[in-house]
Structure 1
Amino acid sequence: MFDFSDKVVLITGAAGGIGQGLCEAFLSWGATVLAFDRAAEALNAMDARLHKATPDLTDLAAVKSAVAELTAKTGPVDILINNAGAAAAVSLSTLTPEDWAHDLAINLSAAYNCVEAVKDAMFTRKSGVILNIGTVNAMLAIGHPAYSAAKAGLVSYTKSLAVEYGPRGVRANLIAPGTVKTQAWNARAAQKPQVFDDLKKWYPLRDFAEPRDIANAAAFLASDLGRMITGVVLPVDAGLTAGNPVLASELTLEAF
């Protein structure tokens, strides 16, 4: 489908559900993949072809050191995918100052640190792609307020990257997944087995993305097919942000 055989791709949050999907997909398309994740055990269990590291992404010096160590063997990063993310509190009523700081650090500051670690090599080559993995939560209030605020900041940061770094040959875009079928949903599914069936009514496509869907979107934006696309937010959300079929049905008295 895609050919990235001459590209070095750095993927953060590599051991998570979306991260694993990204790693597997870009390996299958021939890329050299650098995989960053703090979950060392899960990372070590992944494909041996990956070049792995476990830096604290909220520590700029640690990120730069890990990038320098790996790229000394692989060559500079062509494509950065800032996928790492976490959500500490589900609502404002349970949100603590520590949760707020944590969510902004891992969802927003970590992306900045990774860009700082790779941008100079991209500038030198006048070529590079930065893909930030956001969320539809940045556009809708559907829980996890600190995480959502951080990802909303990531949207603005992406646009700034596109505008300021475009003249230097670097494109930047953001993918905003909706619900994605990953292991992150296991606990909720165990608590409420019908959770996916209950949620489907809110999604126009009556289905949910899988990690490969996110990887396919990333590949398109990173490839030459997307060479004139920069500064965009691309929802991969089964239509969730396009509109609400439940509300539309109740407003129009029509069945959707």
Structure 2
Amino acid sequence: MSDSPTRVAVVTGAARGIGAAVAQRLAADGMAVAVLDLDEAACKPVVDAITDAGGRAVAVGADVSDSAQVEAAVARVAAELGPPTVLVNNAGVLRDNLLFKMSESDWDTVMDVHLRGAFLMSKAVQAHMTAQRFGRIVNLSSTSALGNRGQANYSAAKAGLQGFTKTLAIELGPFGVTVNAIGPGFIVTEMTKTTAERVGVDFEQAKAQIAAEIPVRRPGMPEDIAHTVSFLASEGAGYVSGQVIYVAGGPKA
């Protein structure tokens, strides 16, 4: 990217896990990065890691499901780092339960963060992208979009993100903006560890069992997703849009 202007990226849910790995990778690619999460203080370690490596980053606290907070956050990023032209919609939560046990709150919370959050963030950032005639939006879907027991809310939200992705690709393409989605398979994060512990499963044992069913014979790591985001956010990915790329260690999600 040495021959291009410095891009400004916003990564949501970036205080840990996949989001943190993506933020650090985009910074390594030469971008200035807004590390956005619900708790601004929790973003500090990621910001410190980026700045210690010689990059530029700022921590931003915002609830992505709140339109006023989203507008304020994007305005702050534009003022402190420059117009954002790369957006990674990664923020997410889990409220797993079987349908007959799932509360309305479980459903609404997951929809608000994943779908409403991606909508609000994309709507706020696209103005900067279209003005610059350049943009990259990467939405984090999941293999759960294809269906997963106990995740009616999460699966529906992640499937919804795929339709959202394809529609934005059509609408924003004429303005130099590409929109793609990544569907991670099993990724080792604090979230997946907590989920295993919640259902009483030893995490190391779970990783081994899952790895045995993955063609590449290993679970995914946050860096696996970050590498894919890096490509989709690059100058060279300008002819890739409206795609869902499953990063799951094999052809079956």
Fold agreement, TM-score > 0.5: yes
Partner of 2:6: 6
Q: Which has the larger radius of gyration?
A: 1
Aligned length: 241
Structure 1 unaligned blocks of 5 or more:
245-256
Aligned equivalents of 2:66 and 2:106: distance in 1? 18
Partner of 2:239: 228
Match of 2:170 among 163, 166, 170: 163
Whether the 8 Å contact between 1:158 and 1:173 is mirrored in structure 2 is yes
1:65-95 CA distance string (max 9 Å, x none): 1110221121101100000011112322321
Aligned CA RMSD, in angstroms, stands at 1.8
Is 1:130 equivalent to 2:141 in the alignment? no
Whether the 8 Å contact between 1:137 and 1:143 is mirrored in structure 2 is no
TM-score by length of structure 1 reads: 0.88
Partner of 1:248: none
Match of 1:106 among 113, 131, 136: 113
Aligned equivalents of 1:28 and 1:219: distance in 2? 10
Match of 1:67 among 74, 88, 109: 74
Whether the 8 Å contact between 1:5 and 1:31 is mirrored in structure 2 is no
1:99-141 CA distance string (max 9 Å, x none): 1111100011000000111111111121111100110000233
Aligned equivalents of 1:129 and 1:88: distance in 2? 29
1:120-172 CA distance string (max 9 Å, x none): 11111211111001100002334321011011100000000001111121110
Structure 2 unaligned blocks of 5 or more:
52-56
Task: Please give the secondary structure, in 2, of the residue aligned with 1:47.
Answer: helix
Q: CA 1:200/1:142 → structure 2, altered by over 3 Å: closer, same or farther?
A: farther
Worse-superposed segment, 134-143 or 14-23: 134-143
Partner of 1:21: 21
Whether the 8 Å contact between 1:5 and 1:30 is mirrored in structure 2 is no
1:214-225 equivalences under 5 Å are 214-225=225-236
Partner of 2:60: 53
Aligned equivalents of 2:147 and 2:107: distance in 1? 18
1:185 is displaced (CA, Å) by 2.7
